[in-house]
Amino acid sequence: MSRADSQPQLGVVGPEPPTSPRRGYRGQLRTAVAASAAPHGYTLALWTATAVASSHQGGPGAADVLALLVGATLAFVALAALAYGGTSIKPDRAVAAGTRIWAAFHLPMAACTGLVSVLLTRCCSGPLLWGLVGTTTTAVYLLGASAQYFCFALRRITKKP
């Protein structure tokens, strides 16, 4: 496979836009992977947590599903307000340049959300359980992913040439 998609093109001024066909298939794949990393990790975390809770408590009813939705939404809004210092969300960039693929390795967060769900099934049930599963899954995933990205950013800054 050619590495031309990662090399500067002759006669092209400035970087290619992420969706430019000149970036080649690998360039397009990089764009898709970078854009999907966080949603993929959150999907794994939420699915793991709800599957664990379901295996211990049975399938959720309508009220349980709504409680999960409310819990996940409230945790996301609270952490977004904390991260941005208010209600206006203006992201810097989707993914920092040079972020390593290991920074998108979400297995630790998915495992933690599953563990938290096991603990929650031991102490509560019904809509309270599902609301807490949504809340804790969202919080654990976002806080864990942020710590992971921060560690990789520090490593990149402190890495000796």
**Per residue of the chain (161 residues), what is the pLDDT tens digit?**
444 555 545 444 556 565 556 667 787 777 777 777 888 888 989 999 999 999 988 999 888 988 998 899 889 888 888 888 887 766 665 545 555 555 556 778 878 888 999 999 999 999 999 999 999 999 998 888 888 778 777 776 776 55
Kindly state the tokens that stand for 108.
Answer: 């630790």
CB-CB contact of 48 with 111 (8 Å): yes
Report which residue type is found at 53: A
Q: Taking the model in full, what pTM does it have?
A: 0.64
Considering Cα of 114, then 118, then 120, then 124, what sign does the dihedral take? positive
Instruction: Give the per-residue pLDDT at 1.
Output: 45
User: How high is the pLDDT of residue 105?
Assistant: 66
